[in-house]
Amino acid sequence: MLHLLELSVIYCVLYAAKSTEDRHGSIPGQLKDCREAIERATDRVLAGEYFDEACSAFSGDRGPGLVDALRHAEELAREHGTAELWAQHSDRLARGDGRTARHAVEIALWALKREVRIRTIQDPDTFRDLLYAVVTGQRNHEDARRKGLASAAGYRRALERGEYAGRKLDGYRLAISIEDGKVIRRLEIDPDRRQAFELLFRLALKGKTCGAVARALNEAGWLTKPREKAGRRNRGTQAAF
């Protein structure tokens, strides 16, 4: 009886991704959408959940989360005859041009060879056949390229207006004010870091080498600002200007 029950269900692996730091809970939302979809299908069983944060599918092939998700789905298909890999949208899996990053059709071919079905909630036809995967993959790549260009242009315009554009650099702090009823965000010199940067530029204008500037900053006790990346906080390190 248990053997017959196992044959009647399909084991599913969920995957979510965000190209940048997930500050607004996109990844949990994606996984929740997939989880609810397989719960509505009584013949599906959740076997694993994976995700990548701050890993691009436009300039790269996502990250270790996708590698593990593909491997798990492949193992399930080998053991049970078939398996499914679920994602909110096909561009979470791939949005490359096939040269610098993986194209959606590469995912489709991988799945075809391994008896894995790809299920995407927002564009369910993408992996229906290879032709759909090619066309949708091209669209995903062009959409990503267009959004990147638009973001870069918006960032440049904000900088030209002297506004905060979402990237706070070491040596500055975010200042918020109200002007004509509108919230204005600008960067201003951070008084706690001002002396370090005044020393840096003073030495640079005197023609000092990078090494000499770094040694002077280290001797003065100044450290570079810690960088946060992929959920990991790095400790402050010696200046390396």
Long-range contacts of 1-6 (CB under 8 A, 24+ apart): 6/80
Give the pLDDT of residue 1.
45
Give the strand order in the sheet containing 44-53. Answer: 44-53, 10-18, 83-87, 116-120
Domain that holds residue 219: 194-233
pLDDT (0 to 100) of residue 44: 95
Question: CA-based angle 127:52:47, to the nearest 5?
Answer: 65
Contact 88, 102 (CB under 8 A): no
HSE of 226, CA atoms in CB hemisphere, 13 A: 8
Mean pLDDT of the chain: 85
Select, from the ranges 166-170, 210-214, 230-234, the one with the highest average predicted confidence (pLDDT).
210-214
pLDDT of residue 224: 63
Q: Residue type for 144, please?
A: A
Q: Comparing 65-79, 93-107, 110-124, 156-170, which segment has the lowest mean pLDDT?
A: 156-170
Same domain, 174 and 209: no
59 has pLDDT over 70: yes
Tabulate helix, strand, coil % of the chain (nearest 5): 45, 20, 35
Shared domain for 216 and 112, answered yes or no, is no
Q: Determine the pLDDT at residue 229.
A: 46
- Measured in whole angstroms, the distance separating CA 34 from the mean position of its chain's CA atoms is 18
Identify the pLDDT of residue 6. Answer: 52
Tokens of 170: 């070491």
- Angle at which helix 104-114 crosses helix 130-160, to 10 degrees, equals 150
Residues 225 and 130 reside in one and the same domain = no
Same domain, yes or no: 44 and 111: yes
Tokens of 37: 């979809």
**103 and 21 share one domain:** yes
Poorest-pLDDT segment among 32-41, 134-143, 152-161, 196-205: 152-161
**pLDDT at residue 231 greater than cutoff 80:** no
CATH number of the domain that residue 68 is part of: 3.40.50.1390
| Those residues with Cβ within 8 angstroms of residue 98's Cβ, 6 or more apart along the chain or in another chain | 105, 106, 137
Q: How far apart are CA 134 and CA 196, in angstroms?
A: 52
pLDDT, tens digit, 9 for 90 and up, residues 190-207: 888 888 888 988 999 999
126 and 62: one domain? yes
**For residue 239, is it within any domain?**
no
How many domains does one find in the chain?
A: 3
126 SS3 class? coil
For residue 48, give the H/E element and its range: strand 44-53
Which of 4-18, 52-66, 74-88, 143-157 has the lowest average pLDDT?
143-157
Percent of the chain scored above 90 by pLDDT? 56
Q: What tens digit of pLDDT does each residue of 85-130 get?
A: 999 999 999 999 999 999 999 999 999 999 999 999 999 999 999 9
Which of 157, 167, 122, 160 minimizes the C-alpha distance to 16? 122
